[in-house]
Amino acid sequence: MPGLDGLPNELRLEIAFQIRDWTTFQSFRHTDSTNLSLLTTLPCFKKVASRLDTRLDTEGRQGARNWLAKNVYSGLSPNAWPFVSGLLRYSGNPYVARTYPGRLRRSESHDTTTARSQLEMMMRQADWKSWRKLFIITLKERKDIVLPSHRDISRYMDKVWRRGRGTPFAILCDISNRQYDDHTYQDVHNFFFQGEGAIVQVLGRCYRFCNGGAGIYACGRHDKLCILGDNKNSFAASGIGKRVAVLFGMWVEHLFSLVPYWEWDTFKKLEAWVADLKARLLEVLEWMEYLLAIFEFVNCRSNCGKRT
C-alpha cells in the first residue's frame, strides 16, 4: 500500500477501526510487519469485529464471514463455545466436560501470554477455511466428516424432543401446570403456549430444525441447475447437517439440565426464569439461521437462493 510506511500507529488503528468487512481487515492487517504486529491483538480484533456488517444478505457474500468473526471475537457465550468446538471437531457431547475461555480471570487480565493463547484459540474458531470445508458439498463421499453415533442421533434428533419424562417439552408442560397467586391456570398456560413468542413455540422451532426441518431450505429456493435445487443435497440430508442437529439437541438438553424449581414461589420469578431461558433458546435459533446461511453461501454458485 503506497505511503503506508509513513503512517503513525494511531492512524493505522483508526483506519482499521473504520473497516466494516472482516476480509478487508485481514488484508489490511497483513499489509506490512508493522500492521501485523499492531493489529494482531485481542482488543483490536474485538473492536473491529464489533463494527462489522453482519447482514447475511450482504453483497459479495461477506455477511457470513463477518457474522462469524463478530460472534467469536466479541466473546462466545458459555453455551455457544462448546457447540462451536464440537462442530469443528466432533468428539461426543461437548457439554459433559467443558472449559470456556471467553473471559480472563481477574488475576490474568494483564497476562500477555494468556491473552495471546486466547486470541490464537479464537482465530482457530473463526477460521473461515475450516468452516467452508465443513459445509461444502462434494461429489465424493465425505470421509473427513466424523458423524455422531447412531445412539446420539437417536437421542438428540428424536428422543430429547419427545414428551417423555425429563425432556425439555415435558419440563415446560410440568411447570405450566402449576398455580401461582393472582394467576389462573389458563393464564399460566397461555403464558407458556400462546403466541409466536411463547417459549414452547420457540422450543418447537428448535425441534423442527433438528428433526429434519432444515431440509426445506434447499429445494424451492434454488434453480434446478443449482446443486441446492436437488433435495438430496439439502442441509438436513448432509453429514454435517446430522452433526449440527445432534449438537443443537445437546445444547438444548443442557439448557434444561438444571431447572430451579425451588425458586418459583411467585409468578414474577417464574417469568424472569422463562425470559432468560427463551433468550438462550433464541441464541440457538440464531445459530441455526446462520449455519443454514453459511451452507447456502458456500454451495450456491448462482446466488439464486437470495431471491425473495
What is the secondary structure of 129-166 as a DSSP string?
HHHHHHH---SS--SSSPPPPHHHHHHHTTGGGSSSTT
Q: Which amino acid is at 242?
A: K
Q: Is the Cβ–Cβ distance between 12 and 38 less than 8 Å? A: yes
Q: Is residue 95 part of a domain?
A: no
Last residue of a domain, one of 74, 99, 121: 74
**Do residues 148 and 261 both lie within one domain?**
yes
Last residue of a domain, one of 24, 53, 74: 74
Rounded CA separation 254/21 (Å)? 34
Which letter does DSSP use for residue 228 in this model?
A: G
The range of the structural domain enclosing residue 9 comes to: 4-74
Q: Is residue 94 part of a domain?
A: no
The count of domains in the chain is: 2
**Do residues 266 and 152 both lie within one domain?**
yes
Q: How far is CA 46 from CA 43, 223, 233, 275, in A?
A: 5, 39, 36, 28
**Do residues 204 and 275 both lie within one domain?**
yes
**Do residues 31 and 168 both lie within one domain?**
no
**Do residues 290 and 153 both lie within one domain?**
yes
Which letter does DSSP use for residue 264 in this model?
A: -
Q: Is the Cβ–Cβ distance between 22 and 63 less than 8 Å? A: no
Q: Is 180 strand, coil or helix?
A: strand
Last residue of a domain, one of 46, 74, 102: 74
Q: Going residue by residue through the chain, which has 308 residues, state the pLDDT in tens, using 9 for 90 and above.
A: 456 778 899 999 999 999 999 999 999 999 999 999 999 999 999 999 999 988 765 444 578 889 999 999 988 899 999 999 999 988 889 998 555 454 434 344 445 557 778 889 999 999 999 999 889 887 566 667 788 999 999 999 999 998 888 899 999 998 888 877 778 888 888 899 988 889 999 999 999 988 876 654 445 567 777 777 777 777 888 888 889 999 999 999 999 987 776 567 788 888 889 999 999 999 999 999 899 888 888 887 666 655 43
**Do residues 148 and 31 both lie within one domain?**
no
Identify which of 135, 58, 54 has the alpha carbon closest to the alpha carbon of residue 306.
58
Rounded CA separation 213/26 (Å)? 36
**Do residues 141 and 224 both lie within one domain?**
yes
Q: Is residue 29 part of a domain?
A: yes
Q: Is residue 92 part of a domain?
A: no
Q: Is residue 129 part of a domain?
A: no
Q: Is residue 259 part of a domain?
A: yes
Q: Is residue 128 part of a domain?
A: no
Q: Is residue 102 part of a domain?
A: no
Cell numbers for 156, please give them.
438428540
**Do residues 70 and 158 both lie within one domain?**
no
